[in-house]
């Protein structure tokens, strides 16, 4: 029997205006109220806002200029990455944040968001991980794009294809440990990422050839999702690689040979719990899997 559902009602006059929207952060004369979010309606999957834009209002998110909060978050993350590399970590790859440019467009976010992987985040397939101290763990089955040569900004599609050595399956594990309402802190905190599980690179798919791929996601051995269009949820993977190279260049970095881009969840992300096992089969390339340790006392 399904639990009873009731309509949610609210009134604009009862919703406080968002404070702290500083002009130096790009909020020029804008009035914002959130009718539905975590704070007002205990909603972690839907946000509905009301914005009043008087004459003279503007915001970088509605222009071609990057949001200053995004720039600061990116600089913070890049700084931390350089510190880790200086201590001896290897620059194994890059990640497109919040899925991919196409997914961000659906959220109304036009500014570039990216994050990074290092060898601390890379684990082998078939391992068991503990979810101790995690708040809202999520598993994302993704396609890893393996770079065979450096890629500068401004590359065309043919150049991107030539730079891709191959592709393989991956699972990203994230922990949504804070509400998604502070883009600067989300970027600085590596976009919720905790681990990435990478499968082997199939070099017969050089140039990011996706023909005939089927993605199957198994939870505890039972099929939880399937897709024969691995770009339906993420957008075009070639565009994603080009997007990463362009954004890196804006921050003085470069997409290099040997690095790996995880390109966003090919199906809606899975909320995972202790005691579960998740497997991502990217047929006919191979599979990756992870098991989560049972809760203590279970």
Is pLDDT of 120 > 80?
A: no
Q: Any idea of the CA torsion for 246, 247, 252, 253, to the nearest 10 degrees?
A: -80
Superfamily the domain 68-292 falls into: Fumarylacetoacetase-like, C-terminal domain (3.90.850.10)
Average pLDDT over residues 272-297: 91
Domain ranges of the chain: 12-58, 68-292
| pLDDT one-digit tens code per residue, 182-204 | 777 777 777 777 888 888 899 99
Cβ partners under 8 Å of residue 91, min gap 6: 81, 85, 118, 256, 258, 259
Cα separation, 298 vs 293, in Å, equals 10
pLDDT bucket at 121, cuts 50 / 70 / 90: low
Pairing of strands 286-292, 127-129: parallel
The predicted model scores a pTM of 0.70
């Amino acid at each position: 029997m399904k639990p009873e559902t009731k309509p949610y009602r609210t009134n604009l006059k009862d919703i406080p205006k968002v404070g702290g929207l500083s002009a130096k952060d790009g909020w020029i004369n804008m009035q914002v109220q959130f009718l539905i979010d975590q704070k007002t309606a205990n909603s972690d999957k839907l946000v509905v806002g009301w914005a009043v834009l008087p004459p003279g209002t503007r915001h970088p998110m509605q222009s071609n200029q990057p949001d200053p909060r995004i720039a600061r978050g990116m600089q913070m993350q890049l700084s931390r990455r350089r510190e880790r590399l200086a201590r001896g970590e290897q620059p194994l790859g890059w990640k497109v944040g919040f899925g991919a440019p196409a997914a961000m467009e659906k959220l109304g976010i036009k500014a570039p968001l990216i994050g990074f992987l290092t060898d601390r985040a890379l684990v082998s397939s078939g391992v068991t991980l503990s979810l101790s101290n995690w708040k809202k763990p999520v598993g994302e089955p993704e396609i890893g794009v393996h770079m065979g040569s450096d890629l500068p900004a401004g590359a065309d599609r043919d150049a991107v294809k030539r730079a891709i050595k191959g592709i393989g399956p991956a699972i990203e594990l994230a922990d949504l440990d804070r509400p998604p309402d502070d883009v600067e802190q989300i970027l600085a905190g590596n976009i919720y990422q905790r681990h990435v599980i990478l499968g082997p690179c199939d070099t017969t798919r050089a140039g990011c050839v996706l023909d005939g791929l089927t993605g199957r996601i198994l939870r505890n051995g039972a099929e939880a999702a399937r897709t024969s269009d691995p770009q339906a949820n993420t957008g075009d993977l070639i565009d994603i690689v080009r997007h990463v190279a362009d954004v890196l260049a804006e921050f003085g970095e470069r997409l290099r040979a040997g690095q790996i881009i995880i390109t966003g969840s090919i199906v809606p992300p899975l909320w995972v719990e202790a005691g579960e096992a998740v497997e991502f089969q990217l047929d006919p390339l191979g599979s990756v899997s992870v098991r989560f340790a049972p809760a203590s006392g279970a």
